[in-house]
Chains A and B, each alone.
Chain A
Amino acid sequence: MMLGRNANSIFWMFRYLERAENTARLLEAGFRMAMTRDEFTSQEEWRSVIQTAGMRRAYEAEHGTYTGIQAWNFVLRDRKNPQSVLSMVENVRTNARAVRNMISRELWETINESWMEVRDLLSSPVQQTQLGDVINAIRREATLVRGAMEGSMLRTDVFNFARIGGFIERADNTARILDVKYYLLLPTLSHVGGSLDNIQWDSVLRSVGGDRAYRWLNHVGVEAKSLADFLILDRRFPRSLAFAYGKIRSNMANLAEAYGEETDAHILLRDIDTRLSDLSVGEIIDEGLHQFILGFLSDNQRLADAIARDYRFIE
């Protein structure tokens, strides 16, 4: 049992952490793509990065063109961008500060130090030569925070809310990436085995940190169907939708056990997860990948709302 407000803070703390990390990965993939392309396609690439990150409107209010340095600085540190990595890391810390008495000292110190480091790194505009360092630092901080939690936190509701927040965000992020890039799959989806624009897909895989994992599991080249399968249904891949939901289920089960009761959110969760388990990739594609993703994103959102309501995050 804990304060609803604190559960909310913990939940969002890990959502922001996950989002910051995924945004950094997204930037990394975009940067690699743009490097190999001509000016025009590179602008397209940055547009797609900004869109995936859900910052398009805010960005276009500020900038007319999609040059790399503008784009990544906007994503990383622009004060006019409420979703910037910097403000997400700040949000992580603010939330952690609010629940300072519920998390281990180790976790708090890791978060606080990470915040200090990222803040320093992003205190001035990021040049091309620094981008790699900055992205690495953000990814490393996220890993450290997760490690500190894993190693030092009691497995109570605090831990479970943290994990649930993180995985809901992760599922959301992976689905978003797929949503922006799904059209790339379209021309080839109909004829099975058609090969894809390898560099494009490599980039998508990279942005979820799954390029090597995919190759390891699928010895052949990138193929549309197996790729969709990998990102959506593969329970071995830690950033797939099915994996995230598996984790959410187990953490929600822990909560139900600790509290001695299930909530509406549990029912909703079972629905979504069953759908994920019952579907095959073929069915998803027949149903329409885009439709599926839209449906999933809204389910995911509904689940988050249900959890917030059932556990009294806010009044």
Chain B
Amino acid sequence: MSTANVAEREAVEQAEPELIPGSTSNVRSFVAPSEIQQAIGFAPELTEGWEQRAIAKMGELLKKYRSLQVFMDACVHCGACTDKCHYYLGTRDPNNMPVARQELMRSVYRRYFTPAGKLFPKLVGARDLTKEVLEEWYTYYYQCSECRRCSVFCPYGIDTAEVTMAAREIMNSVGLGQKYSAEIIGKVHRIGNNLGLNPAALRNTLEGLEEELKEETGLDIRFPLDEKGAEVLLVTPSADFFAEPHIYSLIGYAKVFHAAGISWTLSTKASEGGNFGLFIGNYDQLRRIALRIREAALELGVKRIVVGECGHAWRVAYSFWNTLIGVGAGSDDPYGQMLQKQLDPRYPQPAHICEVTYDLLERGAIKVDPSANDHLTITFHDSCNVARASRMGKHPEGQFEIPRAIIRKVANKFVEMAPETTREKTFCCGGGGGLLTDELLEVRIKGAKPRMDALRAVAESDGVNFMATICAICKAQFTKVLPEYGFKKSVVGGVHQLVSNAILLGSSY
């Protein structure tokens, strides 16, 4: 892009007003058809009396989640979060300011659950739950990617993701669901993964990969499926099985296990790391989807559970699996102990694939030739759920250090993007939290702007031509939006794609 264009664009940006009310009020995800809603146990459609049922549901959630109760009360409208959301920055729609997004629900909370809102609604900004308010909820709670960037800056730690999840849960309970999330949840229960890849097709794909790698390397690098007695169960997003660039990371995982001599397996039952139960804030779905992993681990008798490159899957695995399905340590109940006895306590359970690879690299158990990546100047995009909702390694910030340490080992040229856009302050790709659907493309493109601006800066200053990331949604979203910002699709890829390029296999060392 020429400098004249950049100057022109900057001039336009400066002229843009701070707020453009309603600028994305017309961008709405498709509503889930009643049969899809019903199939996953939600009310099929909005019917008479939905208002009371929604308020009752809100009351139930306020009693079940302290986060929601405290977050509804504690906000003082200080404005610290107002310029922190990538969707606000990209769209300038005031309802995309985190506090305003929360306020869509808080105004209703005040009306029905606080004395001030019951007595003086106008004074405190309380509103009845009407069809119009519900429409606003549906629009703007599906323009939040639950990335938690606002929660970093809030003086009370108010996390809009918790509010968004509660709002989606309430809407689902009265029959207003989102087609994209509901369809995917249906598929994971019916077929075992979000993309609806059946066991035969999965086996076929994996065999194809084995043949391809045999031709390329002359080695028998395996992609085992449902192999009892394997050491490691790998749970990875199903996009890794065929989407580009995801599949290059899957090849990377296989090469790592091969080179290190670790027996591993995938599972047809647990052929999905993603868990959209998180996105819709439904504990029951979150738990039922996670239970597949528990069942697969028990059936296959594995000693370790490792999670592939997927942001929200890692949040669910790292932060919630111990709670939901007893993968982890420190439980004294029979349910939790069942898996604890089977899993090897010398390893963190679950482990991220980056923790595994980093450990092997540190110990010299796998060898790499970083010059294999010399055609690339690499930067790293921290994915929100990894950065702000999980950890790797033994110390806080390991989730930032470990992927970077891997990249530095497997490549020679690494450049950081601006510090206000990385690590805990990273910007969402714009497609997370259940927004990776075509009808939301406008907000996805606009929401990617802060990240794209940061990428452009290092592309121009340092010649960065590869942005590594460890999230299937980030990869899919960037593949779609990079061209909109004048980049090639191939600029995005996985950390294990780089590992795959550089790893030394078999007799070659």
Query: Is the A/B pair a real complex?
Result: no
Residues in B lying within 8 Å of A, measured CB to CB: none
Residues in A lying within 8 Å of B, measured CB to CB: none
